[in-house]
């Protein structure tokens, strides 16, 4: 794999190509979530958050959920 990457880097350098890599934009502000009633005694709330989807080039909101401690 490393040999392949070095070969690709050499070909790009010889061709005079430039590769630009851009980071995704910052996520929107967090959404307000309403926690439901605790479903069982040892449940812990995991808050939601924005997740970048590289295929669609946008963020989507992953809702919060309860999980076992």
Residues contacting residue 51 through CB under 8 Å, at least 6 positions apart: 59, 60, 61, 62
Question: In the predicted model, what is the mean pLDDT of residues 18-37?
Answer: 87
Whether 2 is in a domain gets the answer no
Whether 9 is in a domain gets the answer no
Whether 29 is in a domain gets the answer yes
Whether 8 is in a domain gets the answer no
Whether 41 is in a domain gets the answer yes
Helix (H, G, I), strand (E, B) or coil at 56: coil
Say how many domains are in the chain. 1
% the chain with pLDDT above 90: 52
Whether 4 is in a domain gets the answer no
Whether 18 is in a domain gets the answer no
Condensed to tens digits (0 to 9), the pLDDT of residues 34-66 reads: 998 999 999 999 999 999 998 989 999 999 999
* Domain range for 68: 23-69
């Amino acid at each position: 794999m490393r040999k392949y990457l070095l070969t690709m880097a050499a070909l790009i350098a010889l061709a005079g190509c430039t590769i630009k890599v851009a980071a995704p934009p910052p996520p929107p502000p967090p959404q307000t979530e309403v926690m439901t009633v605790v479903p069982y005694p040892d449940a812990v709330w995991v808050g939601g958050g924005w997740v970048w989807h590289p295929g669609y080039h946008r963020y989507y909101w992953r809702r919060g959920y309860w999980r076992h401690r």
